[in-house]
């Protein structure tokens, strides 16, 4: 069975130079922009709403990305929208939230329905972002439930683009290996 599957006649849409590991699963209404990468054991399931993942973003091993369907109280449901240059660490869970550009989601972090993470944010490893919480740009957020920590340093801000560039290089090496 393929790691890329349709659901109800809707197939994932892939940009240029996308890498989806054969041991991951991408299902349904999922749109992956150019140079994104989905790593082993990650699940990206756009079945009851849509998922978009921006350019040069990466979803690391064991992460789970899902959505909420529309209801009477929430006519649009909760799609999952991820911006450009986002690094989603190993075993993170993102459910029906919005992640803007240049964000690092730490390993094991959980971001829940309706939460919004503005650009240039670090969500620390193991942090839990409650439903509908908004994380302001320029800070690291820690804990369960998440709390605003200190302002980001210039080195941390530079790391966002460096991390996504590193994953673009790595996925290119994996793609080259596949097509030998």
- Residue boundaries of the structural domains of the chain: 4-179
Q: What is the pTM of this model?
A: 0.96
Reported confidence tier of residue 65, pLDDT bands at 50, 70, 90 = very high
From the number of C-beta atoms within 10 Å of its C-beta (0-12, 13-18, 19+), residue 47 rates as middle
- Does residue 1 have a pLDDT over 90? no
| Tokens at 56, concatenated | 């040069």
Regarding the domain delimited by 4-179, which CATH topology (the fold level of the hierarchy) does it fall under? Answer: UDP N-Acetylglucosamine Acyltransferase; domain 1 (2.160.10)
**Is 80 exceeded by the pLDDT of residue 132?**
yes
In sequence order, what DSSP letters do the residues of 24-35 get, joined into one string? SEEEEEEEE-TT
Backbone angles phi, psi at 162, to 5 degrees: -65, -40
Beta strands in the chain (DSSP E): 4-5, 13-14, 19-20, 25-32, 37-38, 43-53, 58-59, 64-66, 80-82, 87-88, 93-95, 98-99, 103-105, 110-111, 116-117, 121-123, 128-129, 134-135, 139-142, 147-151
Query: Pick from 44, 43, 96, 94: which is nearest to 67 by CA?
Result: 96
Pairing mode, strands 110-111 and 93-95:
parallel
Segment 45-53 shows an average pLDDT of 98
For all residues of the chain together, what is the average pLDDT? 96
- 131 phi, psi to nearest 5 deg: -55, 140
User: pLDDT (tens digit, 9 = 90+) per residue, 25-46?
Assistant: 999 999 999 999 999 999 999 9
pLDDT at 74: 87
Q: CA 77, CA 180: separation in Å to the nearest integer?
A: 43
Band (73; pLDDT cuts 50, 70, 90): confident
Q: Can you tell me the distance from the alpha carbon of 148 to that of 165, in angstroms, rounded to the nearest whole number? A: 27
Rounded-to-integer distance, Cα 167 and Cα 2, Å: 23
DSSP class of 167: H
pLDDT band at 119 (very low <50, low <70, confident <90, very high): very high
């Amino acid at each position: 069975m393929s790691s890329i599957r349709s659901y109800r006649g809707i197939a994932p849409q892939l940009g240029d130079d996308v890498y989806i590991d054969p041991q991951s699963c991408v299902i349904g209404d999922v749109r992956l922009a150019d140079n994104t990468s989905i790593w082993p054991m990650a699940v990206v399931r756009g079945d009851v709403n849509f998922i978009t993942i921006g350019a040069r973003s990466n979803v690391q091993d064991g992460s789970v990305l899902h959505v909420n369907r529309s209801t009477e109280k929430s006519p649009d449901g909760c799609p999952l929208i991820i911006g450009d240059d986002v690094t989603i660490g190993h075993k993170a869970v993102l459910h029906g939230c919005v992640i803007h550009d240049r964000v690092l989601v730490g390993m094991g972090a959980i971001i829940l329905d309706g939460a919004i993470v503005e650009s240039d944010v670090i969500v620390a490893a193991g942090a839990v972002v409650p439903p509908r919480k908004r994380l302001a740009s320029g800070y690291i957020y820690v804990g369960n439930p998440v709390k605003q920590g200190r302002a980001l340093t210039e080195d941390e801000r530079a790391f966002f683009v460096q991390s996504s560039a590193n994953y673009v290089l790595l996925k290119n090496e994996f793609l080259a290996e596949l097509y030998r």
